[in-house]
Amino acid sequence: MAPDKELVEQLKTVPLFEGLSDKELKDVLGRFGVIEHAAGHEIVEEGRGSVGFHLILDGQAEVTRGSRKLRTLGPGDYFGEISVIDGKPRSATVTAVTPVRALSLTAWAFQSLLDSQPSLTRKILLGLCQTIRNSDQPLH
């Protein structure tokens, strides 16, 4: 499977993007970048502004709120899907436990996408609604 095809398949697993066609997913993917984080690096910090959405491709990261560990993230896990839309401060800190390689979408690239493609925006909003309806746990 080609690398872009694999990344499109991974994006399909994210509720925010699951209603998009392959063509739309490829357009969204074109706005992402692959970012590497060293072990110990805080990828996002609780209370700080949002930079974007992150989908972990490789590595492990720990989610904490205050001094309490909430969970460990690994390949296929993601965070920032709410903050990338509303721009509000992060509700938790995510720290790389091992080197982490993540597919990352900046908030400004995401906003540009939403502004330029109303039909795609509607599908993403429906995905967000589904995420909210299905949430038994705090949003991240």
Return the CATH number at 93. 2.60.120.10
Predicted TM-score (pTM) of this structure:
0.84
118: nearest Cα among 31, 46, 24: 24
In a domain, residue 110? The reply is yes
In a domain, residue 37? The reply is yes
pLDDT in tens, the chain (140 residues): 456 888 888 888 888 888 899 888 988 899 999 999 999 999 999 988 767 899 999 999 999 999 999 999 999 999 988 778 787 888 899 999 999 999 999 888 888 888 988 888 888 888 888 777 776 555 44
What torsion do the CA atoms of 57, 46, 106, 127 make, to the nearest 10 degrees?
A: 70
Domain that holds residue 42: 3-133
Number of domains in the chain: 1
In a domain, residue 139? The reply is no
